[in-house]
Structure 1
Amino acid sequence: MTMQVRWSDVDLFAHVNNAAYLRFLDDARFALFPSMGVDAAGRPTDSLLVVVKHEIEYLAPLPFRSEPIAVDVWVPRTGRSSVDFGYEVLDVAGAGGAEPVVYLRARSRMVQLDRGSHQPRPFTPEERAVFETYPGEAPVLHGW
């Protein structure tokens, strides 16, 4: 998915603020999986997918720019009631055929909950099939 860096995404250090990156990840994930907790009309469903963990590695500063950025999203693991997402925020295309700059690499874990009980609920075969449409390896984060 491509998106624009908004002026409000940039902080006093003249690069995209860490909180703005979370919006990029959420927007890209929801664009790929629009039915996560809502139906086609936007009404809440009986289940909801909630974030329980984010791991983020900032690799290069991303300044304000008019060129779009790409946010790649994939699913490295689907469990019984949880799912992991991998992400990269990068240039849409490298300049002059160069490798695109990767600004951020991240992963998130989300758990499917029953809306009434707020207890984990197993994915249905149909829900699992949607996630399995976007396979990929877990992103390698270098940690501390």
Structure 2
Amino acid sequence: MRHVYECSVRFDDLDAFGHVNNVTFAEYLQEARVDFAHRHLVTGDAPHEGSVVVHQSIEYLAPVPFRTEPLQVHVWVTRIGTSSFEVAYEVSDASTLFARATGVLVAYDVKGDRPRPVSAAERDILERFLEPAA
């Protein structure tokens, strides 16, 4: 299963060439990742303590001009480890794949300011979005 986040293209996302700046794609991924966490990992039974991004890679496939229709950012999990998990992303609309990306996140104890194991509750949720990398 994939989480889908609809992301608006804002006028200030554009660069001098009139398309979405490469750095802005990282912001789109962050927005989708935070939306995923808030919708799925934060529950009354299993509060999501936090995670930090330790690696991110973006492959740009096509420029995104200004548009009023939102982009779709698909997020899914490709690996779950003891204290980290990997995610993949696709930024697209109905006809064009604009970017692919991957990221590694480490579960983080915000109060203790250190990495922590992925909880059993988090693992159960992450497994619902698991699509092993090809």
- Tell me if TM exceeds 0.5: yes
Matched residue, 2:109: 114
Q: Does the 8 A contact of 1:81 with 1:111 survive in 2?
A: yes
Kindly indicate whether the alpha-carbon contact (under 8 Å) linking 1:52 and 1:109 is maintained by their aligned counterparts in 2: yes
RMSD: 2.2
Q: Which residue of 1 aligns with 2:10?
A: 6
Give the TM-score of the pair, scaled to structure 2.
Answer: 0.85
Does the 8 Å contact 1:36/1:49 carry over to 2? no
Is contact 1:59–1:102 with CA below 8 Å preserved after alignment? yes
What is the CA–CA distance in structure 2 between the aligned matches of 1:105 and 1:122, rounded to whole Å? Answer: 27
The corresponding residue for 2:50 is 48
Partner of 1:8, secondary structure, is helix
Matched residue type, 1:73: V
Residue number in structure 2 paired with 1:28: 32
Give deviations 1:100-129, integer Å, cap 9, x for gaps.
Answer: 211100001010122243332111110111
Q: Distance in 2 between matches of 1:12 and 1:66?
A: 19
Letter in 2 for 1:68: P
| Separation in 2, partners of 1:136, 1:24 | 21
Structure with higher Rg: it is: 1
Partner of 1:15: 19
CA change 1:48–1:102 in 2 (3 A) is: same
Hey, which bits of structure 1, 4+ residues long, moved more than 4 A? 35-40
Q: Distance in 1 between matches of 2:40 and 2:121?
A: 12
Q: 1:9 to 1:121 in 2, by over 3 A?
A: same
The DSSP-based 3-state class of the residue aligned with 2:15 is: coil
Displacement of 1:58 in angstroms is: 0.4
**Residue 115 of structure 2 aligns to a residue in which SS?**
coil
Structure 1: give runs of 5+ residues left out of the alignment.
94-99, 140-144
Secondary structure at the aligned position of 1:54 is classed as strand
Q: Which residue of 2 aligns with 1:104?
A: 99
User: 1:64 pairs with 63, 66, 77, which one?
Assistant: 66
1:26: Cα distance to partner?
1.0
Aligned residues between the structures: 128
TM-score (normalizing by structure 1): 0.79
